[in-house]
Each structure stands twice: as structure tokens, then as C-alpha cells.
């Protein structure tokens, strides 16, 4: 099995574009798009394996070497800070990590005067680091989804979350007040695999590099 290259691909938003990208360099993992409940697929001729995992689990599979390569959003990498090599920005899955609050509050709010605020987020580590660097103390409320709901029901005044079209903010009366980071999808590589399977992995990285 060790002469195989294993790739961890996340189900959800970035699945289709990941499959398309690999297809362009001759790696066919279209089986991942089928409705099957199978979690791992093998292409014996190409000596490739593909596994389908939760987006937030991709760095873990790659860090431990259960996968040699992984595809994952920069947001997840920033939150987890796993020990993986990140050679390539794949440039799709664009969104922003930002701070938002109700439009009514934003009218008279001055972010440079924040000293102590409450933040609901799926990204506590990113939020903690961002506000610590600015000298702002925060009380964190960890949520797992529908983050925009928190200010509407008084759980927190502000949130740290991702925005792409801005539709979720708009429909819930919130506005973006600070941008923390621009987010895109990244290719990550297990550090040991990079040495032991160097030529095959380098070939994949270089192939993808030409496309992005």
C-alpha cells in the first residue's frame, strides 16, 4: 500500500472543484461525486487512493500521514495550525474571514475603541489570535453553524465568520466591520511523504501549479 498516493478530499462546497482540478492533471476521482456511501476509492493502475472526509478533518489525516495529500480551506488551516506542508494556493473557494455585527450597532461603533467584546464563532483560535494582536479582550462563544443567528438573539453582539456572497449577512441585518483574512483552498502535504514519495508528489504539485 505504501507505493500508493492517498488524497483526502473534503465533502461539501469544495468537492466538485477539487475533483475537476485533479481531472485536469490526469487524476480521475470522479467516483467521489457519486451518491455512494463508500469513503475510500482506489485506482490500481494509477496507484492512487482517494478518501472523502469532513473539511475540518482533512489536516488531521494529512498530519498523521493517513493521507499524503489533502485539499482544504485556509480558514481550517488557520484555525488548527497543524504541522503540514502547504505548497500551493489552489485559488478557488474564495471567501473572507471577517468580523460582523448588527447594522444598527455598526452605525455608531468604532472598532478601534473595542476593549472587551463578546464573539460567537466557529473559529475560536483565529478570533483569539486576531484580537490578542490588537490588544482587545474577548469572551468567546463557540458555535458550530448558523453563526449569524447569535447577534439576533443576544448570544453575542459580534461574530467572526466566513462571508462570500454576503447574502447571509444581509438577510440577517448584519454588516462586515473588519476583515481578518482572505480565504482560498490550499493543497497540503504530509511532511514525511514529501520525502519518501518525493518524485510523485512533486509531479502532482507541479501539475497543479500550472493550472492555478
Ligand X SMILES: O=P(O)(O)OC[C@H]1O[C@H](OP(=O)(O)OP(=O)(O)O)[C@H](O)[C@@H]1O
Residues at the site binding ligand ATP, with contacts judged by CB under 6 A: 10, 12-14, 54-56, 73, 75-76, 93, 95, 162, 164, 183
- Binding-site member from 46, 164, 196, 202 for ligand X (CB under 6 A): 164
Which range touches ligand X (CB under 6 A), out of 31-39, 97-105, 144-152, 180-188? Answer: 144-152
Q: Phi and psi for 21 in degrees, rounded to 5?
A: -65, -45
Q: Is 97 helix (H, G, I), strand (E, B) or coil?
A: strand
Which one, of 8, 7, 6, lies nearest residue 53 by Cα?
8
User: With CB cut-offs between 5 and 8 Å by kind, which of ligand X, ligand ATP, none does residue 167 bind?
Assistant: ligand X
Backbone CA torsion sign across 114, 119, 124, 127: negative
153 binds ligand X (CB under 6 A): no
Residue closest to ligand X, measured at CB: 145
Identify which of residues 69 and 99 has a Cβ nearer to ligand X in the complex. Answer: 99
- Residue 106 neighbours by CB under 8 Å, 6+ apart: 175, 177
Least distance (Å) from ligand ATP to the CB of residue 26? 25
Angle formed at CA 123 by CA 119 and CA 125, multiple of 5 degrees: 90
Amino acid at each position: 500500500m505504501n507505493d500508493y498516493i492517498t488524497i483526502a478530499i473534503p465533502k461539501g462546497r469544495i468537492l466538485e472543484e477539487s475533483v475537476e482540478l485533479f481531472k485536469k492533471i490526469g487524476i480521475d476521482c470522479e467516483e467521489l461525486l457519486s451518491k455512494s456511501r463508500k469513503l475510500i476509492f482506489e485506482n490500481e493502475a494509477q496507484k492512487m487512493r482517494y478518501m472523502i472526509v469532513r473539511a475540518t478533518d482533512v489536516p488531521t489525516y494529512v498530519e498523521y500521514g493517513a493521507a499524503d495529500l489533502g485539499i482544504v480551506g485556509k480558514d481550517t488551516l488557520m484555525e488548527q495550525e497543524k504541522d503540514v506542508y502547504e505548497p500551493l494556493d489552489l485559488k478557488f473557494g474564495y471567501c473572507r474571514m471577517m468580523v460582523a455585527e448588527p447594522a444598527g450597532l455598526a452605525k455608531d461603533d468604532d472598532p478601534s475603541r473595542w476593549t472587551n467584546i463578546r464573539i460567537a464563532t466557529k473559529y475560536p483560535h483565529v478570533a483569539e489570535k486576531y484580537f490578542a494582536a490588537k490588544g482587545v479582550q474577548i469572551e468567546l462563544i463557540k458555535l458550530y453553524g448558523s453563526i449569524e443567528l447569535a447577534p439576533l438573539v443576544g448570544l453575542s453582539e459580534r461574530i467572526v465568520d466566513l462571508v462570500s456572497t454576503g447574502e447571509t449577512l444581509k438577510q440577517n441585518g448584519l454588516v462586515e466591520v473588519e476583515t481578518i483574512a482572505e480565504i482560498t483552498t490550499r493543497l497540503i502535504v504530509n511532511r514525511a511523504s514529501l520525502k519518501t514519495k518525493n518524485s510523485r508528489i512533486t509531479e502532482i504539485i507541479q501539475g497543479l501549479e500550472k493550472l492555478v
